[in-house]
Amino acid sequence: MVKKLKRSKVNHKTIVQPYDPLQYKEHYFNWSINCCYLDLNNKEFELFKNRDQFFSIIKKLDSFRSWRWSKIESSRNDTSCGVMDINKLNTKEMVQGHLLSINKDVDQLYKMEINNHHRIWGIREKDCLFLIWDDCNHSFYKQKNKNYTPKKEER
């Protein structure tokens, strides 16, 4: 004899809290790719130049998913992960031009360290980083970093 399951009396409606833009810092880091945001015209900052690089970027970005946005924004090393004013960048005219072309009015970019020589740059919308540039040569922001070790071909 088959038993009938009793129907639960609990209302299963999901309660959706409105998004509070000031509370994003308590959310966990998330990232995404929106093809409309990528700078595909600039060959110097071409995202994902090869398959191995593509997988290393994804693996590293996924490792940051355990971080909260507050940790990313308060990173102590000014050259690893964090937020940076566009006016401090060596490539600010190029950056401002591309952001204007994709209708994004922001004055800060987020940078994520892939390795000691490699950064990914993007913009934050709510609690998600959207990738725009791959800066594998530190062209966006050149600064002396005490932790920096030159690539083999630079030695």
Q: What's the rounded Cα separation, in Å, for the pair 89 and 140?
A: 6
Please state the rounded mean pLDDT for residues 130-155: 68
Average pLDDT, the chain: 79
Report residue 32's pLDDT band, with 50, 70 and 90 as the boundaries.
very high
Domain segments of the chain as ranges:
27-141
Please state the rounded mean pLDDT for residues 75-88: 77
Instruction: Tell which residue, 127, 116, 144, has the closest CA to residue 67.
Output: 127
